[in-house]
Structure 1
């Protein structure tokens, strides 16, 4: 079993440059995911069903990262169990669950229930099963994230419209799967490019029978531009850049510290919605953004890094 993160071999003892790279990678990933929520919600309510959007997401990493997954083989010889958890939490099944959830709920509910609750699940599992000691500053940080998520979710989560509860349950299931991916990532013994590429390959194998015909129909119906846009956002940015960057963040910061940064996604999605959708946040949303930002700073260990390093 992996040692606690605050042991001498954990993330606290990592060089400052490694932690800095980890923070930069985590911020890059969550920035992309903030826009991904809006993009995916628009796609599944437009001319592209979830399985088609999923195919566009995973075809790029499957091809671009082919040299990486070719090295480990279609079925990895080591770390198979952790890889299965990674695939379930970042592959085709995860995307289908989340994509179908977005058909029942507005985009404003996605951030709080998916990337918002994921770091809380990781923190709980890390404390209960991985013997990680959070410390009071990081514990307060996770509480602030929970407060921010609850505030950003607002009435849409607490008092959902008819039928929205289906989407909420699917999003919570997706958050648990994503948490499993985050915790298992370092235990595969594989590089981020290998994990992402192999997950992309198996996702394409699963999605091609239903996803590829949707792409062909969309192009023939005159929606080729939308297909190309989703290929860029889903495939290149979210499917390759964000996943590899987040994997590097997990390697350098540890699961719970890296997961804490995903708490920023609901706040970023709310900010992106201002210029893109013309939605201006009200006072509760502003409080939620501030609470989430403070919570991520505390939960990631930013204020204790210097002391831990000494």
Structure 2
């Protein structure tokens, strides 16, 4: 029964990760501006988790400033870069490049800052990811889309920095969500009030406001984090990390009826390379005790740095590690 619940939680997380990419792509057609969407995205978790805010503030005072800055990058900077990239590209590329580029950037950052080298299976996996990213650029003819690919890669780099910070933080999971969302919500609120960037929150259809509150604020901001964490505890870290790589595939398929985006040969090549690379990166080799995918669940804490409780990329906060970009920080 616990395993079935873990599978159900994992399926919910994958769907929510895909919804992040799809709603990011749909901002332009919603009547909302990126600032409006960011406001809904970050204010909602802060309001729902407000009872835990004093505890989070006390915990932040004990955290290292560099780690706090790294966590905050997953807020407004990542969201606005993702929104701009989604405006210039397709839902398929948002769902693919945001999580898919993170393992590559994390490996590069750790190699530069800590001298860590990538060998064997993971080197092959990262090579496949690079080739997949290159394929998206080579097979793209529109200048705007090429620029959008660069913006999405910048968003992936920002999430990679956040991922490393998440692996080093001493904050509990709810405090991490509040550290990410609270500053982003405050800045977005200031932008809404001052009009420093285009805003349209009061004129957007109520149905679109509700959609972003539910999918981005509640779904991506809170439920995907909790469902993924639950799945990891029930299934171990390997299976969720590998299954999470199907999120870009789901995004690509759903983008066909929702946005009329065709599944081109270039998209298929990029999907095969990036998703295959991410799966290869995350699958642990068998050890003497058997398959590492069937390893014991992590300890019953909520701290993000506990092995097995990895951040999702995508997207948003501790969620869509962010999708295909699950990382096992050693």
TM category, shorter: 0.7 to 0.9
Shift of 1:56: 0.7
Q: 1:61 is matched with which residue?
A: 45
Query: Within 2, Cα distance between the matches of 1:126 and 1:247?
Result: 25
Q: 1:50 is matched with which residue?
A: 34
Q: 2:85 is matched with which residue?
A: 101
Tell me if the contact between 1:119 and 1:263 (Cα under 8 Å) persists in the aligned partners: no
Is 2:214 the partner of 1:229?
no
Structure 1 residues 288 and 31, CA gap change in structure 2 (3 angstroms): farther
Tell me if the contact between 2:20 and 2:215 (Cα under 8 Å) persists in the aligned partners: yes
Tell me if the contact between 1:85 and 1:180 (Cα under 8 Å) persists in the aligned partners: yes
Q: 2:168 is matched with which residue?
A: 187
Q: Which moved more, 1:197-206 or 1:210-219?
A: 210-219
Q: Which moved more, 1:180-189 or 1:286-295?
A: 286-295
Consecutive unaligned residues in structure 1, runs of 5 or more = 1-16
Query: Within 1, Cα distance between the matches of 2:127 and 2:9?
Result: 24
> By percentage of residues, which structure has more helix?
1
Cα deviation code 1:218-243 (max 9, x no counterpart)? 25xxx001110111111011122234
Query: Within 2, Cα distance between the matches of 1:250 and 1:134?
Result: 25
| Normalised TM-score (structure 2) | 0.70
Tell me if the contact between 1:26 and 1:246 (Cα under 8 Å) persists in the aligned partners: yes
Alignment of 1:242-281 (within 5 A): 242-243=224-225, 264-281=246-263
| 3-state SS, counterpart of residue 218 of structure 1 | coil
Structure 1 residues 237 and 217, CA gap change in structure 2 (3 angstroms): same
Query: Within 2, Cα distance between the matches of 1:154 and 1:263?
Result: 23
Structure 1 residues 258 and 141, CA gap change in structure 2 (3 angstroms): farther
Query: Within 2, Cα distance between the matches of 1:76 and 1:169?
Result: 33
Structure 1 residues 56 and 77, CA gap change in structure 2 (3 angstroms): same
Q: 2:177 is matched with which residue?
A: 196
Is 2:195 the partner of 1:210?
no
- Output the aligned Cα RMSD: 3.7
Work out the number of aligned pairs and report it: 283
| Normalised TM-score (structure 1) | 0.74
| 3-state SS, counterpart of residue 89 of structure 2 | coil
Structure 1 residues 294 and 164, CA gap change in structure 2 (3 angstroms): closer
Aligned with residue 76 of structure 2, among 67, 92, 102: 92
Consecutive unaligned residues in structure 2, runs of 5 or more = 297-330
Tell me if the contact between 2:242 and 2:283 (Cα under 8 Å) persists in the aligned partners: no
Query: Within 1, Cα distance between the matches of 2:145 and 2:269?
Result: 24
Alignment of 1:131-210 (within 5 A): 132=116, 134-151=118-135, 155-156=139-140, 159-161=141-143, 163-210=144-191
Query: Within 1, Cα distance between the matches of 2:114 and 2:246?
Result: 24
Tell me if the contact between 1:147 and 1:291 (Cα under 8 Å) persists in the aligned partners: yes
Is 2:58 the partner of 1:41?
no
Tell me if the contact between 1:62 and 1:200 (Cα under 8 Å) persists in the aligned partners: yes
